Chains A and B, each alone.
Chain A
Amino acid sequence: MNRPAIILALIAAPALADADPESLRRLVHQDCGSCHGMTLRGGLGPDISPSALTHYRPEDLTTVILDGLPGTPMPPWRPLLSEDEAAWIADYLLEGESK
């Protein structure tokens, strides 16, 4: 991680330290939604609605969220999210609104 990214992480960490499901849900739809569409059914990035992710195990999806997919536009969210938050998002994506 280069220096600006570390600074970014330091700036962002306090904001999400006490993140609640509501703000994570918002992050998923608004910010993941920048590429995957606000309804998560795809945009420049692929469809990430539950039916499109059935081949993912929760722990693998958590890793993709934290570390991104090198060689694709999927960025690592580790600078902005804790592992618990990424795991919550992975579960939310796999289970949909029932979560």
Chain B
Amino acid sequence: MTPAPLSRNAAENLRHPGFHHSGNTPAGGIRARLLALTLAALALWAPSLPASAQATGDLGLVVERASGSLLVVDQSERASIGRITGLGDLSHASLVYAPDERFAYVFGRDGGLTKVDILAQTVVNRVMQAGNSIGGAISDDGRFVAVSNYEPGGVRIFDAETLAMVADIPTDSKTIGLVDIPGSRFVFSLWDTGETWIADLSGGTPQITRIKGMGAYPYDALVTGDGRTYIAGLFGEDHLSALDLWQESPKPRRILPGYAKGRAGLPVYKMPHLEGWALAGQDFVLPAMGQHEVLWVDARNLEETGRTPTHGQPVFAMSRPDGRHVWVNFAHPLNDTVQVIDSVTKAVIHKFTPGPGVLHMEFTPRGHEVWLSVRDAGKVMIYDTETFEKLGEITAESPSGIFFTARAHRMGL
């Protein structure tokens, strides 16, 4: 639905739920006039009608990376309904939603942290919190927003309401793979030192747990939807590392050891992304580094269960919300193509070329549609995930990340 200004009827229904009147009877006319007077009186003292009366459950934001703006989109209308500008350098930007699905926190490459209101379509607050940042997360209770920084490194934590800094966690390293887990905690990894840290914000000051030995150069990480398993991809190792966060003292465990053994690594023109949509049926699906394949591991014992050769080096391997299919896009120069893999047979069942520069994919919350950012075509393209039929497209300026509001209620996103 489109967030137009509230209509008179909507306003009446809002103020008087369950009150029915008819304008075509005398009584109805009087009631209507009384109501109008009441509304006028209300308008004298009440704040203007709350914009939050507009539902946000099928809205979303698309990052326009070159122009520093966000496109506000409506899932059911398959349309753009506005634009929020003035967010700085949004190349590689990402965002998280407040639990109310009204406010979003945008992490810009230039170190800007911006809070936007998707109903009013405005910037609410903006702070330059570092020189160069990569992403962020919001705590389970919605109180804290954490930002992962490249320059000067470390993680900074902000009050979600005011954007005042509440904690500074220097690491002497670029930080990556920042996610939220239950208990007002954040988990992130250190590119330069191969550690994973857990920051617990449930008390007055953050309590840090340092876990060493994750492996060389963790480039990104994910946490599963239950907040239990944290998996870091490693640029400098021929394996990934996993932590069981339900253990009292989580210990790194190598998964997929030697997955590229005996095979020359291909040049990596874009690092893969790891996010919490890895679970497909009973397996996790993960992009290989430097190989044209995705890798499958059993979600319970983390042993390899298969590999699927792909068109190029995967960037995102995203499980549809039901887990039945996995959609994969690829690194430069093969980034015009998308493949769909069946989670049961692990075979590619569909391949198509939406256009140049497919950067990002986002499923509607129950997975009936997928929206693709096709950067160099300047479009967001919308497909049916069962028939693979194209359903529509939206013009956008160099679109990258697409973020639907349902992420507000998912851990690790």
Q: What residues of chain A have their CB less than 8 Å away from a CB belonging to chain B?
A: 1-2, 4-5, 8, 11-12, 15, 30-31, 33-35, 37-39, 41-44, 68, 73, 75-77, 79-80
Contacts and interface: CB of A to CB of B under 8 A. Distances in A.
Interface string B213-229: 00001010000000000
A31 to B, nearest CB: 5
Majority DSSP secondary structure for residues of A touching B? loop
Contacts of A5: 264, 266-267
Given A42-B150, A44-B219, A68-B267, 8 more contacts: A4-B266, A11-B333, A30-B357, A37-B92, A38-B109, A42-B132, A43-B132, A44-B271
Residue from the set B150, B267, B269 with the largest chain A CB neighbour count within 10 Å? B267
B36 interface: no
Residue from the set B91, B109, B174, B268 with the largest chain A CB neighbour count within 10 Å? B91
A44 to B, nearest CB: 7
Contact of A79 (B134, B151, B267, B376): B267
A84 to B, nearest CB: 18
B150 to A, nearest CB: 6
B191 interface: yes
A44 B150 contact: yes
Closest 5 CB pairs of A and B: A38-B91, A75-B267, A2-B264, A34-B270, A31-B332
B292 A4 contact: yes
Nearest to A36: B91
Interface residues of B, number: 32
A34 B271 contact: yes
Given A2-B263, A33-B91, A37-B92, A75 B132 contact: no
Contact of A73 (B110, B271, B292, B376): B271
Contacts of A43: 92, 109, 132, 134, 150
Contact of A38 (B89, B264, B268, B333): B89
B115 interface: no
Contacts of A79: 267
B132 A73 contact: no
A76 B267 contact: yes
A34 B360 CA distance: 13
Contacts of A33: 91
Interface in B235-274: 235, 263-264, 266-271
B152 to A, nearest CB: 12
18 contacts: A1-B264, A2-B266, A4-B266, A8-B333, A8-B334, A11-B333, A30-B376, A31-B269, A31-B270, A31-B332, A34-B271, A38-B65, A38-B92, A43-B92, A43-B109, A73-B219, A73-B268, A80-B269
Nearest to A2: B264
B102 interface: no
Interface string B141-156: 0000000001100000
Nearest to B312: A8
B326 interface: no
B66 interface: yes
A10 B110 CA distance: 37
Contact of B332 (A2, A34, A42): A34
Contact of B191 (A44, A68, A76): A44
Given A33-B91, A38-B65, A73 B266 contact: no
B375 interface: yes
B59 interface: no
B266 A37 contact: no
A75 B268 contact: yes
A68 B151 CA distance: 23
B267 A35 contact: no
A4 B265 CA distance: 10
A89 to B, nearest CB: 14
A35 B271 CA distance: 8
Interface in B87-117: 89, 91-92, 109-110
A14 to B, nearest CB: 11
Contacts of B91: 33, 37-39
B333 A80 contact: yes
Nearest to A41: B132
Nearest to B268: A75
B232 interface: no
B176 interface: yes
